[in-house]
Amino acid sequence: MELLIGMTVTLMMLAIISSVVSRASGVNARETRKADALVSAEAALNVMSRDVGNSGFGLFTDITTQTPNNGLVIADSNDHRIHFRSNINNVGNYGPASNAPAINTNEPGEDLTYFFDSATKSIVRYDPNAPSGTPKTSVVVNMISNVTFSYINYTTSSSTVTETTSPTSATGRVRITVTVQLDEVVGQAKNQTVTFSSDVTLRNSNYMLRQY
C-alpha cells in the first residue's frame, strides 16, 4: 500500500513537472519566433524607409515654377505597392507637362517599386535600371504576412491632413506597415501576429520642403 501511494505521488509530481517544462518550452519557442519576426520586419522597414525617403529628389512638377515633386507614381501605387522616382545624380529635370514621364531617372536606384508578393510571402524590390543593365527583381525579406502602404496628404490652404490608400500630389508622408504571422506553437494561442509600422517623410515633396 505504501509503495502504491509513493508511486502515485511520484507520477503526479512527474505530470506536474512535465506540464511546467512543456509550457516553458512553448513560451520559449513563441518568444524566439517573435524575435525572428521582429528582426525580419525591422530589416524590411529600414530598407524601404531609406529609399522611400529619397523619393522626389531632383524632380519638379514643371519647368516654369520648378515646384518640387514628391516622386510618387500615382497611377502605379496603392496600399500594397509603391512606385517612386528620384533623380539621385541630379541631372536634367521633370517633364514640362503634369502627365509627362520623369527624365534622367535611368540610373540604378532612381526608379523603384516595392510590392508584396503573396505567393512567396515576401516584400519584393523591382529596379528596371539595375547595374547589370537589365531589370532586377529582388526579395527584400521573406516570411512576411503582409505589407501595406498608406499615404498622408497635406494641403497648403488648410490644416486638413488626410490618409488615403493611394497617393496624391499632396502626399508628404508614407506609412509603411509590415505584418508577420507567427508559426503555431503547441500550447500557445494560434494566429499570433507581430506588426511594425513606420512613418516615412518624403522630405523632397513640395509641402515638406517648406517646413524646414
Strand partners, 83: 113
Q: Of 90, 125, 124, which is closest to residue 104 (Cα–Cα)?
A: 90
Instruction: Give the angle 77-111-38 at the CA atoms, nearest 5°.
Output: 65
pTM of the model: 0.77
Cα-trace Rg, the chain: 25
Q: What is the pLDDT of residues 52-99, one digit of tens each?
A: 998 988 888 766 777 788 899 999 999 999 999 988 887 765 555 555
CA-CA-CA-CA torsion sign (27, 29, 31, 37): negative
Q: What is the pLDDT of residues 182-206, one digit of tens each?
A: 766 555 566 677 788 889 999 888 8
